[in-house]
Chain A
């Protein structure tokens, strides 16, 4: 059961695993110099970078986890929706002079609508036919290809970014790095207010989603649909409506992640999504497919792999490490770090 009712034991276990992994990431930052015999600059800085890039990865990957947990399919067009979210944000500033604050809700709305459209075009016809999960995977690939090439036709392939002049208008000189020193602990790191905002927004959205799924009536209906669609129908839950809601939420998360990504990195191309797709898949596989907490943990982990690979001077390992981790986890623990063992699935 993907979004199962959490029994105290499993909750304890997942908290334990999460804590262990996070402590491990933190310690690694300090131990790396000793292990490698190389000088690594400023461990706190790496932890900071891990947290803020990881939060964007987690937010993005949550969409995969959400759709997988409710429908049991992998929506490979999620990354294309993410890329569109980024473009909606950037282009509404460049073309229509909309203030940057409004781009986030705009992109979430746009991403959500694109998500629903993808459901209607790529998933609904197959659900009606009771097609195997693999067919749905292929059709979502098709939808992804369509979205990417539409973006290519509309926006071209040269990288886009939020205009610097607009970013400068943000309060607190948001793009300027500040030095923060916590003297009593000997911590010392630099972070921009924008990055803090990214962390706050990403985690706020993730908590909202967790609250929605775990605590509200709608969330309960979603879990019933995930448990058994027929039963949900008998309980007069609109199964189709829940599916569309799921796709809307996933799309909105992708849209938000897209804007945050575009704020963080000054290069958005139609192919940004493809790169993120693989990271996102790694994230949810690491955490456990369909697990919301797992996605958060996986995002932090993938970010840690990337940051540490760069920190120890093997930047070319940066791209490969997450996939090696993906490979290993699929072979030895296919249910992911926080997932429950389910023999039938893998």
Chain B
């Protein structure tokens, strides 16, 4: 760890890298099914708030609380996904952005809503402070450990790896290619899309729970449109052509600004430029097997050039 710390990757950053890898995988699942959903920031917020409230206000142990946050995100995803997934590309994107904002606003005003309900029902007891408005919940002890995350990432990665060759994965791939053709092949499009959406939401909830117990403080402001874009950036950087792409993307894009510490204030700029470059010139992302093949080819060409003084192509 000495070397990593020397380039700016301290324990906190490494843990954060794995959290973001989980978030990147969560959006990968919907993208793999051809659904452009940005809802994951909202599910992350739900997972985060539910798990933190459980550990802080109700003295739940860490792991059950995290799992509860994950389940809560999944449960909320079901009624959201059923109507929303009927929409396609741009319309789906706008609707899910709307969902993220509604989630953020509801969390922001949750105490006021509870208050309103109490007055309407003429309850005499003092309404509880749950989400604490814009200030958020502070002083959360750090309970997320790197081991938890590594185990979670390995389990999820195994799931992803197996998914590609499973009935579920193939159905999603077919839906991505053409929904109508997939339906005509007897694939239950609505079912598979919703399952992918709910599973993605659960992963986002898991990531949110971990991040909530890592950053000591959670505020509704940190789960908005910007976070949705960040999550998207991880998986675009990693590419959706392979199961390890999003993991790579999440790790790399979190580490990048830390390694380039003098450029810390340029984080947003770097994220944006990375998005632009990758989407325009490397649409397969970091995890694209074709990219690695061509990289190997050019590497061998360079080494040939150095040792033999001529290019491999010219020699052949």
Q: Mark A147-171, 1 if CB is under 8 A from B, else 0.
A: 1111011000000000000000000
B225 close to A277 (CB less than 8 A): yes
Indicate whether A334 sits within 8 Å of B87 (C-beta atoms), given known contacts A138-B236, A149-B269, A319-B101. Answer: yes
- Contacts of B279 on A, CB cut-off 8 Å? 126, 131, 135, 138-139, 142
Indicate whether A139 sits within 8 Å of B268 (C-beta atoms), given known contacts A316-B109, A334-B91, A346-B88. Answer: no
* B280, CB-defined interface residue at 8 Å: yes
- Contacts of B267 on A, CB cut-off 8 Å? 149
A316 close to B269 (CB less than 8 A): no
A133 close to B89 (CB less than 8 A): yes
Complex Cα distance, B279 from A145, in Å, reads 14
- Contacts of B150 on A, CB cut-off 8 Å? none
* A137, CB-defined interface residue at 8 Å: yes
Q: Add 4 more A-B contacts to A319-B101, A327-B99 (CB < 8 A).
A: A149-B267, A150-B269, A330-B84, A334-B91
* A226, CB-defined interface residue at 8 Å: no
- Contacts of B99 on A, CB cut-off 8 Å? 327
* A249, CB-defined interface residue at 8 Å: no
Chain A residues numbered 294-345 whose CB sits less than 8 Å from any CB in chain B: 316, 319-320, 323-324, 326-327, 330-331, 334, 345
- How many residues belonging to B are interface residues under a CB distance threshold of 8 Å? 45
Complex Cα distance, B273 from A122, in Å, reads 10
Complex Cα distance, B109 from A94, in Å, reads 37
- Contacts of A320 on B, CB cut-off 8 Å? 101-102, 105-106, 109
* A74, CB-defined interface residue at 8 Å: yes
Which B residue's beta carbon lies closest to that of A152?
B268
A146 close to B269 (CB less than 8 A): yes
* B232, CB-defined interface residue at 8 Å: yes
* B275, CB-defined interface residue at 8 Å: yes
* B14, CB-defined interface residue at 8 Å: no
A333 to nearest B CB, angstroms? 11
Identify the B interface with A (CB < 8 A).
Answer: 36, 83-84, 86-91, 93-95, 97-99, 101-102, 105-106, 108-109, 112-113, 224-226, 229, 232-233, 236, 265-269, 271-276, 279-281, 283
Complex Cα distance, B106 from A281, in Å, reads 20
B39 to nearest A CB, angstroms? 12
- Contact residue among A137, A278, A346 (Cβ-Cβ distance under 8 Å from B87): A346
- Contacts of B225 on A, CB cut-off 8 Å? 274, 277-278
List 8 A-B pairs, Cβ < 8 Å: A134-B89, A138-B232, A142-B271, A153-B265, A326-B95, A330-B94, A331-B95, A345-B91
- Contact residue among B105, B233, B268 (Cβ-Cβ distance under 8 Å from A319): B105
- How many residues belonging to A are interface residues under a CB distance threshold of 8 Å? 46
Complex Cα distance, B87 from A129, in Å, reads 25
* A197, CB-defined interface residue at 8 Å: no
Complex Cα distance, B248 from A152, in Å, reads 28
Indicate whether A327 sits within 8 Å of B102 (C-beta atoms), given known contacts A278-B97, A281-B94, A346-B88. Answer: yes
Indicate whether A142 sits within 8 Å of B105 (C-beta atoms), given known contacts A149-B268, A326-B95, A334-B87. Answer: no
Complex Cα distance, B97 from A285, in Å, reads 13
B236 close to A330 (CB less than 8 A): no
- Contacts of B229 on A, CB cut-off 8 Å? 141, 144-145
* A69, CB-defined interface residue at 8 Å: no
A85 to nearest B CB, angstroms? 19
* A282, CB-defined interface residue at 8 Å: yes
A141 close to B275 (CB less than 8 A): yes
Complex Cα distance, B268 from A152, in Å, reads 9
A122 close to B89 (CB less than 8 A): no
A325 to nearest B CB, angstroms? 9
A327 close to B98 (CB less than 8 A): yes
B233 to nearest A CB, angstroms? 8
Complex Cα distance, B99 from A158, in Å, reads 28
B176 to nearest A CB, angstroms? 11
- Contact residue among B90, B98, B265 (Cβ-Cβ distance under 8 Å from A326): B98
B267 to nearest A CB, angstroms? 8
A141 close to B232 (CB less than 8 A): yes
- Contacts of A74 on B, CB cut-off 8 Å? 90, 93-94
* A177, CB-defined interface residue at 8 Å: no
- Contact residue among B93, B94, B268 (Cβ-Cβ distance under 8 Å from A145): B268
Indicate whether A143 sits within 8 Å of B236 (C-beta atoms), given known contacts A319-B105, A323-B105, A334-B91. Answer: no
Q: Which of B224, B268, B273 neighbours the largest number of chain A CB atoms within 10 Å of its CB?
A: B268
A330 close to B91 (CB less than 8 A): yes
Complex Cα distance, B102 from A133, in Å, reads 25
- Contacts of B269 on A, CB cut-off 8 Å? 145-146, 149-150, 153
A285 close to B94 (CB less than 8 A): yes
- Contacts of A27 on B, CB cut-off 8 Å? none
B272 close to A144 (CB less than 8 A): yes
Complex Cα distance, B96 from A326, in Å, reads 10
Q: Mark A112-135, 1 if CB is under 8 A from B, else 0.
A: 000000000110011001011111
A316 close to B84 (CB less than 8 A): no
Indicate whether A121 sits within 8 Å of B268 (C-beta atoms), given known contacts A320-B105, A346-B87. Answer: no
Complex Cα distance, B232 from A141, in Å, reads 10
Complex Cα distance, B229 from A278, in Å, reads 13
- Contacts of B36 on A, CB cut-off 8 Å? 134, 137
- Contacts of B101 on A, CB cut-off 8 Å? 278, 319-320, 323
- Contacts of A129 on B, CB cut-off 8 Å? 280, 283
Which A residue's beta carbon lies closest to that of B236?
A138
Indicate whether A135 sits within 8 Å of B283 (C-beta atoms), given known contacts A145-B229, A146-B273, A153-B269. Answer: yes
